[in-house]
Structure 1
């Protein structure tokens, strides 16, 4: 069966800042808001192509103010830092839950590679997030 597991329950735990997701294959994941925010599928975070990702920092204490259902394929959380353009599909949520350790390790390695601290504030955006960059 290749069907993507679908959530049967979604619970926001504000005190511990995790999204508890129970899937219909029996798996339940507690996905930290920070992990969701760092791996948001939005263009603002992912950029517009490989190598365009924007490393997110200072999100350890990010909260989620609310979650909107997007059709029957995902959710769109509103983070308390104002970010709300990421649509988290069921497969993306499942990946965040099932591959947490690897995703945290990859995030920490990106921080090291960039020489920035996980808790560093995000640099203020100069102009449009979609402006062209000279690398």
Structure 2
């Protein structure tokens, strides 16, 4: 297993280290500050159901949802990313897994304000 600071991408190694060593701790390996300005992870420790991402003033920008295995199953965006003509606020993206898409396939719901999180 790689250690932090070697290889191609330090950020990815930290993520991989978190992904594969998460069984050692019941808390998140990376502090919330790690995700500032970055994407939330697609894989987390099993048992984590949601991870929020905040903007610079503390408003929620996104909430990522995870299944019992720690795989992302979707996320809700609370911004239209500057594309108001084809994105509503909120809107959501779904990730489905099956035999054909073992790594998941993303299904966009860019104009659906009825998210799986309801009013969260």
Q: Is TM > 0.5 for Structure 1 vs Structure 2?
A: no
Q: TM-score range by the shorter chain?
A: under 0.3
Structure with more relative contact order (C-alpha pairs < 8 Å, separation 6 or more): 1
TM-score, L = length of structure 2: 0.26
